[in-house]
Amino acid sequence: MNTKGNNNPIGVYDSGLGGLSVWRELHAKLPNESLTYLADGANCPYGGRPKEEIRRFADEAVGALIADGAKMVVVACNTATAAAIDFLREKYANIPIVGMEPAVKPAAMATRTGVVGVLATAGSLGGDLFLRTSARYADRARFIAAVGEGFVEIVEQSREATPEAVEAVRRVVEPLLAEGADQIVLGCTHYPFLREVIEQVIGEREVAVIDPAPAVARRVEQLLDQFNLRAAENNKAQYTFQTFASDDYLNRLKNKAFQIISR
């Protein structure tokens, strides 16, 4: 057994609770890696904010995770990735930083109708990253972008199992289905928490819902090897949580994480 390794945590950051959808994959795939999750919380939602402001929040958060000893950082937020990933990689050049990419490629490869729905925040959809990736696959599919209006707030308040959630999802997803979308890309890390509701709205139709989190976890694993950062095989992983918001928010964050792993 390899008992040598880098047992420092991987830092995971989001505007709020949504990045737990990525944390969940890391937790499952890399059981001996410690994870430290930072939910801004104080400034969530990021979705409609100016890029410069989001960049400042992301800088503060990533800086804090690195100061705490993170050996790698996952920006588990599409909006912060779109606004700040180049800046972060330049500023913290000695730490690998993984961002979120909308899963436009697998959707473009899989679509049979040629129509792909992309759900994300206004910040992500207006950013270069989405425009560039969707332009790259424009010959394979027509992308219809839609903001998940109200989705982040519903997930932040753990109101996924309410009629209000069904209503919010229906309002956004039904027009995509009406246009013939057979792939729905979840381009915001909060949205996988609404997956069951999205599937309920899809009903019997043959429509795939794509969450990029497993691909991000695979990328993290590759980078751990590439930079020789894997924890020792016998490392007992520690899971810590931080926020820029209140103690009450921290408790909600921990509860959601606990619910995820006890499912």
CB of 14 to ligand DGL, least distance (A): 5
14 forms part of the interface with ligand DGL (CB under 6 A): yes
Q: Does 133 bind ligand DGL (CB under 6 A)?
A: no
Ramachandran quadrant class, 123 (left: phi over 0; alpha: psi -120 to 50; beta: rest): alpha
Q: Is 44 in the site for ligand DGL (CB under 6 A)?
A: yes
Q: Active-site residue among 17, 38, 44, 77? A: 77
What's the rounded Cα separation, in Å, for the pair 210 and 69? 32
Q: Give the DSSP per-residue string, 43-97.
A: S---TTS-HHHHHHHHHHHHHHHHHTT-SEEEE--HHHHHHHHHHHHHHTTTS-E
Closest to 197 (Cα-Cα) out of 228, 160, 231: 160
Q: Which residue of the set 104, 188, 220, 231 is catalytic?
A: 188
Interaction of residue 243 with ligand DGL, rule CB under 6 A? no
Candidate list 119, 152, 207, 210; residue touching ligand DGL; CB under 6 A: 152
Q: How far is the CB of 217 from ligand DGL (least distance, A)?
A: 15
* DSSP-assigned letters across all residues of 130-145: HHHHHHHTTTT-EEEE
Would you give the binding string for ligand DGL spanning residues 52-81, x where CB under 6 A is met? -------------------------xxx--
Active site (annotated) includes residue 77: yes
Which strand ranges, in their side-by-side order, compose the sheet holding 72-75?
A: 97-98, 72-75, 10-14, 35-39, 239-243
Question: According to the binding rule CB under 6 A, does residue 192 interact with ligand DGL?
Answer: no
115 beta partners = 142
Q: Which is nearer to ligand DGL, 96 or 127 (CB)?
A: 127
Query: Which residues are catalytic, by number?
Result: 77, 188
Q: Report the interface residues with ligand DGL, using CB under 6 A.
A: 14-16, 18, 44-47, 77-79, 121, 124, 152, 188-190
